[in-house]
Amino acid sequence: MKIITSILDLNKEIKNYKNIGFVPTMGGIHAGHISLIKASQKKKRETIVSIFVNPTQFNNTIDFRKYPRDIKKDIVCLKKLNVNYLLLPSTKDIYKFKARKFVLRKKDKILCAKFRKGHFEGVLNVMNRLMSIVKSKDLFMGEKDYQQLYLIRKYLSKKFDVRINSCQTIRTADKIALSTRNKLLNKKSLEKASHIAKLLIKIKKSKLQSSKFKLDLSDYKIELEKKFNIKVDYLEFRDEKNLKLNNLKDKFRLFIAYNINKIRLIDNF
């Protein structure tokens, strides 16, 4: 595995490749990230993983500072996986060139876009930059961050003529979605996260089985908040294709974001 820290070096390295699979991450490599890497390798792509904790997508500097980082461990893990390139760019390098600014359309200001002001503008900004640097044929992203996947498809996929491959959420045996942020949770919070995930799987199942199921989940939201002492930002069923509310055809998902001990977790089922 070659480790590349400058965009200039990356350009030199990859200029003749037409077969790149790109896996952008913020590090703290776990089995969720690994599933994206394996999907790229399965397609026989020259796989580039980037690790960049993007400051512009954090709407809170404390959250940015305490985001778990362990680059040494990540390198060992990525080497074992035979990743071709690891891109470790500096903030200066990523933000040194002019690029389009993104403003979300009103109808996209839902779910996390409503609760984390500026977050997705930051995600689109950095992804626009990374994708213009890496120029991959395939991009691999997780359904764990479903709204992110949706917005990148919507705002960026045409510009870059890239195939966006979505990969299922990888969970622990007790149903917690893997996330680098989980490292910030203590044992009790992890237990709660597991109970919450199992409960939400049940709620989704009962919706699938009953035509009379109430779409308004405010009672469940209050119950979750009381039972687990958490703050739920949203708990909503939305259409899988267009993320619309109350207009559910056969494919829909249950979306949640909540704060547990000051750590914000998101998931969807």
For the annotated catalytic residues, the residue numbers are 33
Closest CA to 44 of 19, 79, 22, 77: 19
**Binding-site member from 10, 14, 20, 26 for ligand AMP (CB under 6 A):** 26
- Asked if 43 and 20 touch (Cβ cutoff 8 Å), the reply is no
Note the helical H segments in the chain: 7-14, 31-42, 61-66, 71-80, 91-94, 111-115, 119-134, 146-160, 187-209, 218-228
**Binding-site member from 144, 189, 230, 260 for ligand AMP (CB under 6 A):** 144
Q: Is 182 a residue that touches ligand AMP (CB under 6 A)?
A: no
**Binding-site member from 13, 17, 35, 190 for ligand AMP (CB under 6 A):** 35
Report the C-alpha gap between 60 and 55 in whole angstroms. 9
Q: Is 142 a residue that touches ligand AMP (CB under 6 A)?
A: yes
CB count, 10 Å around CB of 269? 17
Q: Which residues contact 62 (CB under 8 A, 6 or more apart)?
A: none
Comparing CB distances to ligand AMP, the nearer of 33 and 192 is: 33
Q: Is 57 a residue that touches ligand AMP (CB under 6 A)?
A: no
Q: Token pair 């001990």 is at which residue?
A: 261
Q: Is 116 a residue that touches ligand AMP (CB under 6 A)?
A: no
Report the C-alpha gap between 165 and 100 in whole angstroms. 24
Q: Is 33 a residue that touches ligand AMP (CB under 6 A)?
A: yes
**Binding-site member from 7, 14, 25, 110 for ligand AMP (CB under 6 A):** 25
Q: Between residue 82 and residue 101, which ones bind ligand AMP under the rule CB under 6 A?
A: none
Binding span for ligand AMP by CB under 6 A among 27-35, 189-197, 216-224, 225-233:
27-35
What residue ranges bind ligand AMP (CB under 6 A)? Answer: 25-26, 32-33, 35-36, 141-142, 144-145, 167, 169-170, 177-180
